[in-house]
Amino acid sequence: MTPGRKPLSGVTLVETTATDAPEALVHAAGLCGRMAADLGARVIRIEDPGSKPSSADLFLHTGKERLSTQPRNRAALIADFAKEADALIVDPASFAAMPEQSCSAIAVILAMSRDAPERGSEFTVEARSGLLDLVGDPTREPLRLGGHQIGYSGGLAAYLGMIAALLRRKAGLPGGPVHVDLLDVAVWLNWKTLSTASRTGRAPTRAGAAAEWSVVACSDGYVALVYRVQEWEALKTATNDVRLNDERFQTAAGRRLHRGDLNTILADIFSSKTRSEIRAMALSKKLPLGPVWTPDELRDNPHMIARNFLYLVETGEAPVPMPTLPVKWNKRTFAPAIANSAIPIALDPAE
């Protein structure tokens, strides 16, 4: 790649979702556009006026040309931009509202599910996919994964589908429309549970504190106690605690049977250790233990700093640490493009 050029230089996308589209589709389309913008595409986001700024908004729409227009003008505006665009990232309603002749660009249509394309939330998709059932305590309500994991997973899939269709078009073949359903993506992520359910008739479910991998308190926070059968001996050596020599814990089946007792002992062992000590132990003994860092702490994390993962971005107020696209391309990091990202440009005349 010549200096200054990026992998998607020369590609133009239009990203838009209808006023009443489920928020999950806004997040999915937003992430797809954000990735493309970081990789050099021109991304034009058409949105409603007066949308309330949020941190998700800033994360998703950095590097895009944001244009706001009243809903009644939206279809005509999209059609206009679509003439020059390579791809459109849209929800079903926006796609349906477009005049047919404007569809020479590849349409990537994000929907919630096959049976309810425009209904539901990220939370209900997580429930329907079986993912919600897997997380949390069995005696309490199922627990969603933090953030917008369902919407963003859909955004990753939309991006993949878009590039695949662009490749076909480059080869002189028709591409799209591309269909991405968030429920299908979430079910795809949950394939192991479905495999087990289909073969045994029993589906794994959340085990809470009795899970094979638990999260326990350490002296300055928490640690995820992650280890496999193969790491058991290394864990015993690293912790050097005689209680782990108990006969009951010396086989995988025994540990499974006495999981509650084992986890209580491990919690006690790790309660006096700091996350820094646990990290050092994990590195020296090749153990997959996970000290729990908060996003706030990760801003100052030496590894994240060494990897240039966060870029300070001016937003008009205080600069904020913006996560970069997690790929180094021949050692090059794609700094988030920030042009026009903070405030949408209003296209409608004053009313």
Cα 279 from Cα 291, distance rounded (Å): 7
Stretch that binds other proteins, among 42-50, 88-96, 222-230, 337-345 (CB under 8 A): 222-230
Of 118 and 246, CB closest to other proteins: 118
Stretch that binds other proteins, among 77-85, 236-244, 279-287, 340-348 (CB under 8 A): 279-287
Of 196 and 237, CB closest to other proteins: 196
Stretch that binds other proteins, among 63-71, 72-80, 278-286, 343-351 (CB under 8 A): 278-286
CB of 285 to other proteins, least distance (A): 9
Task: Give the x-and-dash track for 1-20 against other proteins (CB under 8 A).
Answer: x---x-xx-x----------
Cα 298 from Cα 309, distance rounded (Å): 10
Two structure tokens written together for 284: 């020296």
Largest CA-CA distance found in the chain, in angstroms, rounded: 79
Per residue in 209-220, is it b (16+ CB within 10 Å) or e — as a string?
A: eebeebebebee
DSSP at 20 = T
Q: Which of residues 241-260 bind other proteins (CB under 8 A)?
A: 252
CB of 76 to other proteins, least distance (A): 25
Cα 1 from Cα 7, distance rounded (Å): 8
Q: What are phi and psi of 26, to 5 degrees?
A: -65, -45
CB of 102 to other proteins, least distance (A): 17
Two structure tokens written together for 299: 């801003």
Examine residue 166 and tell whether it contacts other proteins (CB under 8 A). Answer: yes
- Helices of type H across the chain: 23-38, 55-61, 71-82, 92-97, 122-129, 131-134, 149-170, 182-189, 191-200, 232-239, 252-257, 259-270, 275-285, 295-298, 302-306
Q: Which of residues 65-104 bind other proteins (CB under 8 A)?
A: none
| CA dihedral sign of residues 241, 247, 253, 259 | negative
Of 7 and 49, CB closest to other proteins: 7
Of 20 and 348, CB closest to other proteins: 20
CB of 350 to other proteins, least distance (A): 27
Of 339 and 347, CB closest to other proteins: 339
Q: How far is CA 341 from the centre of its chain?
A: 20
Please work out the total of residues on this chain that contact other proteins, with binding judged by CB under 8 A: 145
CB of 181 to other proteins, least distance (A): 7
Q: Which of residues 43-62 bind other proteins (CB under 8 A)?
A: 52, 54-56, 58-60
Task: Give the x-and-dash track for 116-145 against other proteins (CB under 8 A).
Answer: x--xxx-xxxxxxxxxxxxxxx--xxxxxx
Of 97 and 293, CB closest to other proteins: 293
Q: Any residues with CB less than 8 A from the CB of 145 and at least 6 apart, and which?
A: 126, 131, 135
Of 88 and 187, CB closest to other proteins: 187
Of 167 and 347, CB closest to other proteins: 167
Of 93 and 292, CB closest to other proteins: 292
Q: Which of residues 144-163 bind other proteins (CB under 8 A)?
A: 144-149, 152-153, 156-161, 163
Whether omega before 321 lies within 30 degrees of 0, making that bond cis, reads no
Q: Which of residues 281-320 bind other proteins (CB under 8 A)?
A: 282-283, 286-296, 298-299, 302-304, 306-307, 309-310, 320
Q: Is 117 exposed, middle or buried (0-12, 13-18, 19+ CB in 10 A)?
A: buried
Two structure tokens written together for 38: 């970081």
CB of 222 to other proteins, least distance (A): 5
Collapsing DSSP states into helix, strand and coil, what is residue 321?
strand
Collapsing DSSP states into helix, strand and coil, what is residue 310?
strand
Q: Which of residues 168-207 bind other proteins (CB under 8 A)?
A: 168, 170-171, 173-181, 183-185, 187-207
Cα 196 from Cα 89, distance rounded (Å): 35
